[in-house]
Amino acid sequence: MSHFVPKPDVKTLRAVDALSRLADAELEQILHSPANGIVAYDTGQNIIKEGAEADCMYVILDGTVDVRINAAVGREVTIATLRHGEYFGEQALMPGATGRRNATVRALEPCQLFRICKSTACLADHSPPPGALEADVPRFPDSEERVMQLLRSNRLFRSLPDQDLSSMVQTVAVVDVPPGELIIREAEPGDCMYVILDGRVEVFIVDDEGRVTVLATLDRGHYFGEQALLPEGSGKRNANVRSDTAVSLIRITKEQFRRVLFRDQKLLLALRAVGDMQRARITETLARHPH
């Protein structure tokens, strides 16, 4: 039996991080645009499909959906479950994004969603929301010093003189990611690494049967994604990483990290040894679940 679902209002949209910086008039414009409106999906229906071109985002008014990705083994794996008041589909609409969906979202039960088309969602372009991984998110005035202190205390960057580290801090991006987002996908080429400024992430793999195994939980000061950047490596990610909480990440490009390695050959050797141990652990974990 269906039940009454209130229409969204300014307060509903204000609670959506991706829209929270908009003025009331802009939110009213989104609410009353003929291009936007409430849509319904039945249990099991795909709402968006990974790889498809993005033309809208959604706010959940009623029901539950799950977010799935295609794992390296060719199976879909659930990485998040979203409910009333949560939203999805905004990342592909952000400036600098590919414009393609990075996951599949499916209704777990009958759902009612508020659909916001791309042309009106772009009202948020002047202030990039959390989750836009490629956007250089504005920070508070003390954030540069926070980044500097964190990197200075990290083993990866101890070989850098203060002047070089300071120059690096001025060029890295700090990005915000909401909970449950996939940050790194297994087997994809790597072009950057991350150091956690705030929050927590999970590192996980998926076996041939689609079972998820969490390899590690990382928080402030930990780093990930560096293995794919090592010289003479495969250049590909060896695991998946998703945000367990809202996280702020320092994004360091391959070129920036390679300059660090050039100065510190001992670090390069140590990271290669760590990579060997990580791959051995992954192999051992997968072997416990034979076909």
Q: Where are the domains of the chain?
A: 10-126, 143-287
Contact (Cβ atoms closer than 8 angstroms) between residue 241 and residue 183: yes
Q: What is the pLDDT of residues 102-161, one digit of tens each?
A: 788 999 999 999 999 988 876 443 333 333 343 333 343 447 888 988 888 887 887 788
Give me the torsion for CA of 185, 136, 157, 265, rounded to 10°: 60
What is the tens place of the pLDDT at every residue in 16-71? Answer: 877 877 889 989 999 999 999 999 999 999 999 988 999 999 999 999 998 887 76
Give pTM, 2 decimals: 0.59
Is-same-fold flag (10-126; 143-287)? yes
Is the domain spanning 10-126 CATH 2.60.120.10? The answer is: yes
Assess contact for 48 and 105: CB atoms under 8 A.
yes
Please state which CATH number belongs to domain 143-287: 2.60.120.10
Retrieve residue 25's tokens: 């008039």
Cα gap 206→186, rounded to integer Å: 9
Report residue 221: phi and psi, to 5°.
95, -20
Other beta carbons within 10 angstroms of residue 86's beta carbon come to: 19
Residues constituting the chain:
291
Residue 142: C-alpha distances to residues 136, 138, 139, 146, 147 (Å): 16, 11, 8, 6, 9
